Amino acid sequence: MMSMKSIWSSMFAPRLIKLHGNGQVEKVYEPNALENLGDRVLQSIYFMWKLGVYTSPLLVGFLYRRGYFEYDGCITLTKVAGLIGGILAVSYVIRSLGRSTNPMYQKFVKTLSDAQNNLTPDTKQKMAQFDFEFYAWPVEFKYNELDKDDVRSRQYITKNQTSRGVLQVGSSLPCHILGYLAVHTFGIRLIYPGSLSIFNNLIYQTLIQGRSRLIDVNNGQRYKLETKDENQIDSMFIDRRNTGNSNGSTLVVCCEGNAGFYEIGIACTPISMGYSVLAWNHPGFAGSSGKPYPPQELNAIDAVMQFAIKKLGFRVENILVFGWSIGGFTSTWAAMNYPDIKGLILDASFDDILPLAINTMPSWSESIVRLAIREHVNLNNAEQLIKYPGPVLIIRRTEDEVICLEPGDVSTNRGNNLLMKMLLYRYPIIFGQYQQTIVQEYLALARPSAQDQYLAKVGYNNDASSNYVEQYMSQHPKVYPSRLGEDMKDEDVRAKVALFLVRKHFKDYKATHCTPLPADMFQLPWEVDDFVFT
């Protein structure tokens, strides 16, 4: 007779698939009639439930008009709910009975049980041959088990200080309530559509195939990390330290966009170049638990960084952080809190999500959107970036249709604002009003030929600007870069140095927002040590 443990095991790991090195996915067994029946019913109920959640305002209105919130109507709804609950329970039992009679499934259950009870390289390797519900995967790193000496004080910038005190105005209370409700219902899902469970299910097979390639083609190792707030983060590590490639000693930590997953995301670029790579999924994406609210996002990247340092053994100065789009939020936070990292690469990112949100939503909702963003989803990348003193490369997509306020107008790309805010903070003397105007005119040009013509027009000389910066750095190493330009009186010469600094921290890529970044665009950021002093 089948044990209760077998029944439960077959319930928590419903997807049994074997992965192959060629990227193909093999079904280990064909489900029998009982399992097929149970699966179809459960999937149908799940789909109807999610559809009901997303259309709940319309559904509630329909039920109200039909009188279902009156006494007799409530009795009817209760009966329907009880019937669906009974069908759900019977379907789980039927599916479990079908799986428990399959010998291969029982072998999988034993393999998983062995790994959960005693996780060793051997048991993990056997377990990793299968793909199943990630919550059954053993936790391999717990942030809360770190020594107190290892957990440093972290900086959190999640609220705009200027928004404080708004609640004191009585008329603004409804806006605060509406803002809270908007963010915690549909708002966070609009900002992070990858957290939608329906979306996750639609691309499930694609994620499986991408994970298969990472594991079997690139020798990836899957890990479950537990964050400070006990979310479980799905991550993938590709170790290239012993391959003979000089890039392998550098670990690239990849932070995905709002609909990006490590299985099919930005990690492919540094992997193709021989770097070691640690990629992870946002809370609520694929196997990761939680929701992508800022505190959970920051706890996730903190756990990822600590895992890279404490468990994988990488030195902080050998870690390069790579963020795409909304991944700039966690990337800049990691740079701010781990300032000794090798560098930071931001691709198709923005300075502040508020202008983008206001630009997207109806004009009448601006006050609600402003409060909602600043109080609950304040993704202010620029505020975090300026607190990182190290090497930065910002990549702008010249055909970006997502972070431009006006599609097709590269001058409205919020990556421009991110770059300018960083440069104004780092080089306050160089970037006066005149120099800012010159740089903004340059950034308003998308075509390389137009940029070259503009540089020629203003008399830009790369060597002269480079020599000036190098000479100043060698003579004033302790005050660079904040005092750069203090001995320069000519506004035009200072403008040319400003353009030089822009070109050192910034690259254009002729592509749309979601085009994969080619290897030749992925370059180590410029740093002062690149200069050779004589």
Helices (H), 102-248: 103-117, 121-127, 173-182, 188-191, 197-202, 204-212
| Residue 74 main-chain phi, psi, to 5 deg | -65, -40
Instruction: Measure the CA–CA gap between 236 and 249, rounded to whole angstroms.
Output: 17
CB atoms near residue 295 (< 10 Å): 14
Residue matched to tokens 């790991």: 13
Annotated catalytic residue within 91, 100, 195, 325? 325
153 three-state secondary structure: coil
Half-sphere exposure of 473 (CA within 13 A, CB side): 16
| Residue 419 main-chain phi, psi, to 5 deg | -65, -50
Annotated catalytic residue within 20, 476, 505, 513? 476
CB atoms near residue 162 (< 10 Å): 8
For the question of residue 400 being annotated catalytic, the response is: yes
Half-sphere exposure of 328 (CA within 13 A, CB side): 31
Q: Where are the beta strands (DSSP E) in 202-318?
A: 221-226, 232-238, 251-255, 276-280
**Tokens standing for 260?**
């990006």
Annotated catalytic residue within 347, 400, 465, 508? 400
**Tokens standing for 520?**
């030749």
For the question of residue 476 being annotated catalytic, the response is: yes
Please give the span between the terminal C-alpha atoms of the chain, in angstroms, as a whole number: 82
Burial 95-133 (b: 16+ CB within 10 A, else e): bbbbbbebeebbebbebbebbeeeeeeebbebbbebbbe
Angle at 302 between CA 299 and CA 304, to 5 degrees: 110
414-426 and 491-505 are packed helices; what angle lies between their axes, rounded to 10 degrees? 120
**Phi-psi category of 348—alpha, beta or left, where left has phi over 0 and alpha has psi -120 to 50?**
left
Reference 397, options 380, 424, 418; nearest CA is: 418
For the question of residue 113 being annotated catalytic, the response is: no
Side chain identity, residue 398:
T
Judging by beta carbons within 10 Å of its beta carbon (0-12, 13-18, 19+), is residue 344 exposed, middle or buried?
buried
Instruction: Measure the CA–CA gap between 17 and 114, rounded to whole angstroms.
Output: 18
Instruction: Measure the CA–CA gap between 267 and 280, rounded to whole angstroms.
Output: 10
Contact 172, 52 (CB under 8 A): no
- Residues annotated as part of the active site: 325, 400, 476
